Structure 1
Amino acid sequence: MKVILIKNAQLVNEGTITTADVLVKDGRIAQVGQNISAEADETIDATGLHLLPGVIDDQVHFREPGLTHKATIASEARAAVAGGVTSFMEMPNTVPNAVTQELLQDKFDIAANTSLANYSFFMGATNDNLAEVMLTNPSTVCGIKIFMGSSTGNMLVDNAETLEQIFSKALLPIAVHCEDEQTIRDNMALYEERYGEDIPVKCHPEIRNEAACFKSSFMAIKLAEKHNTRLHILHISTEEELALFRNDIPLQEKKITAEVCVHHLWFDKEDYDTLGSQIKCNPAVKEARHKKALLQGLLNDKLDIIATDHAPHTWDEKQGKYKKAPSGVPLVQHSLQLMLEFVKEGKLTLEKMVEKMSHAPAILFNIRQRGYIREGYWADLVLVDLQKPYTVSKDNIQYQCGWSPLEGKTFAATVTHTLVSGHLAFANGTFDESKKGERMLFDR
């Protein structure tokens, strides 16, 4: 591998911003300091640029196997790297669902051959695969995923005894999608009675409402408290749910953690008028009061990490009527730029952003030697130019689906370089796919 020397960067790491050089050798950070003069195969002059630890996105849907008309691990990993996301954890609701050790391994094999980013995959739980779930290796797999709410697909776990068994026996973090299925069904019946097949998409947050989210999250937390389970609740979308989480202890000591996704911070119910089903997702984008509360929850540490729930569908699929249009939004390429907009607006500091997108995911999932700019750690690094505007367009969208609800948006910052496990995978709009990402490991 090339020896790479990054010079004169504004290094954002562990709560500070300092001017520093970083030497990368054999895939790892060999030295961090000033005036490093080591020989290198490539030197990057980072004067005027900010150097961040690579973003770790703990919730993506890359659609392979079985749904490759929407996306592939290769295409979406490339999009991730273009946006400064160096590591991802992918969900099990592919086709077939990743609910056996063999099917889970198939996804790792695909990623080893095609993923430009570092990777891990969740083991999926169902009502009847407990024995398979219990075989999952805690040191080589990121976690167990439970859909406590059907979302998109057929992985709803609603058997009380199954949930008790998983929560009591799991050796890995359990990540849950929390929406109460019965509440959603009851609401849907009311809206079908009112509108028939022509339900307006803006009714989505009323059908998948605050009560559905809170009820399911509350139940998951009670189960975790009962069994002392390591629980992580994905994509919190409501102000009400914030009351369920603690911020009076360090993240390292939390047994129950929570995530917020960029779209729940960025969009609100008014955006359905212009974007329609483009922002239809589960849990739903809701009224503006929620995104304001979620940002505050991020700042006061009730919400522990930022993710995307990246979930691409084809443009044609998204054009169907409300009940036909699938839920999910492609976001992984632009999550870092979205959060840098919050930084520009003074709503978030660079240090806090890096904490929530890089450090905290590494802590929360016990990721081995990633998430920080530290000597000896894997060199997952991102350079950003905070003074170089970037407009999202068809020409620069890397998602296989070819569209984004952010098209036409001009961001204040541009991702210029991304190093993945010491490999310069992306530089000034050009990819180098001569080396793939690494499988993440976990200290458990």
Structure 2
Amino acid sequence: MCILLFKNSTIVNENQIFESDLLVENGRITKIEKDIEVPADCRVIDAKDKYLLPGMIDDQVHFREPGLTHKGEIATESKAAIAGGITTYMEMPNVNPPTTTLEALEDKYQRATEKSYANYSFYLGATNDNIEEISKLDPNQASGVKVFMGASTGNMLVDSEEVLAKIFANCPVLIATHCEDPQMITELEDIYRKKYGEDVPMQEHASIRSAEACMRSSQLAVTLAKKYGTSLHLLHLTTANELYQFESVKTLKALANKKITAEVCVHHLFFNSNDYERLGSQIKCNPAIKDESHQKALIQAVKDGIIDIIATDHAPHTWEEKQNTYFKVPSGMPLVQHGLQSALEFYHRGIFDLELVVQKTAHAPAVRYQVKDRGFIREGYWADLVLIDFNKSETVSKDNIFYKCSWSPFEGHTFGTSIDMTLINGNIAFEDGQHRKERYAQRIEFERK
């Protein structure tokens, strides 16, 4: 592996911003101090006026492989991820066939070994009848167990409270939940279908997949977790209603002891229901983007330590699929290439401190998921790094999108930040808008008992 020396970089790490050199050898950070002497056979990178951050760890993506590769693939979507400063991803099980057996889980790891450009891990999916597979899972074998308590593809909707209780009682690893009450949603879909037929206006999506449906489901998840002492992570919160259920913590030490945690996704921070008029089906996703009052509450909850992690829920669909009428349009949007940039917009707007963005996108996922030697800029840790230029803006266009689906809800938007360089395990994987041909990704390890 190459030796790299970053000179005069501004490092953002563990609630500090400071100027320093940083040396990378054999894939890991070996020295962080000023005025490091240049070793032989070393590439020197002048990082003056640029910021060096730990790469984002995205704990929720859908890369669509196997079975749905017309939308995205491990190779294409992981390349888009590193272009956006995401160095590690945790991928979801609702593919075809779904990742609901240990054999299917290991098949995905093998695929990633051969194809991924970013570091990777995968979830095992829960169903109404795979509790035996879940109970056999080694805690270090998967990111966690994903439980869809709202609609999903195939047989992955877990709608039996008896089964949910067994999963929460017996799961050997963190449970990550999608919380929406399916019965409430079905009833509302029937009401709106009778009113509009197939042409339900896209802005009604937030009414159909309502705040009440989210609240009822997340209450059930939290109740079960407290009853059985389960390690629970609620994915993509969208409502102010749900926030009272979570303890506020602001330190990573406190987060390490927090058994019930919460996440928000970048699109629920960035957009609100007013954007349906402009973007329509492009921002149709589950749970739905809701009104400005919920958006503001989520932003404040990030600042208050109620929400622990910022992720993307990257979920690409083809442009053609997104042109259908309401009930036929699939939910989800491509986000990994612009996830970190969109989170950093809140720094540019004076809403989030830069240290807070780094905590929520890198440190907190590493701590919550007990990821080994990643998520921080520390000597001895893997050099998963992103070099950011705050003096160079970037406008999203079809010419600079790397997703297989070739579109983004951010098209036309100018971000105040550009991604100058991304390192994967100490190797430059993306620089000046170009990917290296080589792949440097690794299966991430966990430190769990």
TM-score, normalised to structure 2, is 0.98
Q: Residue 249 of structure 2 contacts residue 255 of structure 2 at CA under 8 Å; is this kept in 1?
A: no
CA distance, structure 2, for counterparts of residue 441 and residue 150 of structure 1: 31
Partner of 1:20: 20
Deviations 1:304-357 (A, max 9, x none): 000000000000000000000000011110011111111011000100000000
For 1:357-368, list aligned pairs within 5 A. Answer: 357-368=361-372
Q: Read off the aligned partner of 1:156 and give its amino acid letter.
A: L
Q: Read off the aligned partner of 1:76 and give its amino acid letter.
A: E
Partner of 1:392: 396
Q: Read off the aligned partner of 1:4 and give its amino acid letter.
A: L
For 1:129-140, list aligned pairs within 5 A. Answer: 129-140=130-141
Q: Residue 28 of structure 1 contacts residue 422 of structure 1 at CA under 8 Å; is this kept in 2?
A: yes
1:389 and 1:153, CA in 2 relative to 1: closer, same or farther beyond 3 A?
farther
Question: Which blocks of at least 5 consecutive residues in structure 2 are unaligned?
Answer: none
Partner of 1:310: 314
Match of 1:276 among 275, 280, 301: 280
Q: Residue 425 of structure 2 contacts residue 440 of structure 2 at CA under 8 Å; is this kept in 1?
A: no
**Does 2:300 correspond to 1:299?**
no
CA distance, structure 1, for counterparts of residue 198 and residue 364 of structure 2: 43
CA distance, structure 1, for counterparts of residue 442 and residue 350 of structure 2: 35
**Does 2:130 correspond to 1:126?**
no
CA distance, structure 2, for counterparts of residue 21 and residue 402 of structure 1: 38
Deviations 1:364-393 (A, max 9, x none): 000001000000011100000001010100
Q: Residue 202 of structure 1 contacts residue 273 of structure 1 at CA under 8 Å; is this kept in 2?
A: yes
Q: Residue 55 of structure 2 contacts residue 384 of structure 2 at CA under 8 Å; is this kept in 1?
A: yes
Partner of 1:112: 113
CA distance, structure 2, for counterparts of residue 66 and residue 344 of structure 1: 39
CA distance, structure 2, for counterparts of residue 429 and residue 223 of structure 1: 46
CA distance, structure 1, for counterparts of residue 445 and residue 172 of structure 2: 15
TM-superposed CA distance for 1:171, in Å, is 1.4
Partner of 1:193: 194
CA distance, structure 2, for counterparts of residue 234 and residue 433 of structure 1: 33
**Does 2:434 correspond to 1:430?**
yes
Q: Residue 98 of structure 2 contacts residue 154 of structure 2 at CA under 8 Å; is this kept in 1?
A: no
- Once the two structures are overlaid, the 10-residue window that deviates more, 74-83 or 147-156, is 147-156
Q: Residue 58 of structure 1 contacts residue 90 of structure 1 at CA under 8 Å; is this kept in 2?
A: yes
Q: CA RMSD in A?
A: 1.0
* 3-state DSSP of counterpart to 1:134: helix
* 3-state DSSP of counterpart to 2:310: strand
Partner of 2:446: 442
Partner of 1:84: 85
CA distance, structure 2, for counterparts of residue 194 and residue 384 of structure 1: 49
Deviations 1:163-208 (A, max 9, x none): 1111111111000000000110111111011111111111100000
For 1:293-372, list aligned pairs within 5 A. Answer: 293-372=297-376
Partner of 2:156: 155
**Does 2:182 correspond to 1:177?**
no
TM-superposed CA distance for 1:218, in Å, is 0.3
Partner of 1:35: 35
- Once the two structures are overlaid, the 10-residue window that deviates more, 119-128 or 150-159, is 150-159
Q: Residue 94 of structure 2 contacts residue 125 of structure 2 at CA under 8 Å; is this kept in 1?
A: yes
- Once the two structures are overlaid, the 10-residue window that deviates more, 429-438 or 180-189, is 429-438
Partner of 1:5: 5
TM-superposed CA distance for 1:252, in Å, is 1.2
Q: Read off the aligned partner of 1:63 and give its amino acid letter.
A: R
CA distance, structure 1, for counterparts of residue 282 and residue 197 of structure 2: 21
Partner of 1:263: 267
Q: Read off the aligned partner of 1:416 and give its amino acid letter.
A: D
Q: Residue 114 of structure 1 contacts residue 436 of structure 1 at CA under 8 Å; is this kept in 2?
A: no
Partner of 2:59: 58
CA distance, structure 1, for counterparts of residue 357 and residue 55 of structure 2: 12
Give the % identical residues.
53
How many equivalent pairs are there? 444
TM-superposed CA distance for 1:435, in Å, is 2.8
Q: Read off the aligned partner of 1:56 and give its amino acid letter.
A: I
Partner of 1:206: 207
TM-superposed CA distance for 1:153, in Å, is 4.8
CA distance, structure 1, for counterparts of residue 134 and residue 98 of structure 2: 13
Q: Which contiguous aligned blocks of 4+ residues in structure 1 show a shift greater than 2 angstroms?
A: 151-154
* 3-state DSSP of counterpart to 1:105: helix
* 3-state DSSP of counterpart to 1:232: strand
CA distance, structure 1, for counterparts of residue 63 and residue 446 of structure 2: 21
TM-superposed CA distance for 1:162, in Å, is 1.5
Q: Read off the aligned partner of 2:5 and give its amino acid letter.
A: L
Q: Residue 152 of structure 1 contacts residue 326 of structure 1 at CA under 8 Å; is this kept in 2?
A: no
Q: Residue 151 of structure 1 contacts residue 282 of structure 1 at CA under 8 Å; is this kept in 2?
A: no
TM-superposed CA distance for 1:433, in Å, is 3.2
Partner of 1:376: 380
* 3-state DSSP of counterpart to 1:30: strand
Match of 1:409 among 398, 408, 413: 413
CA distance, structure 2, for counterparts of residue 71 and residue 173 of structure 1: 27
Deviations 1:290-309 (A, max 9, x none): 11000000000100000000
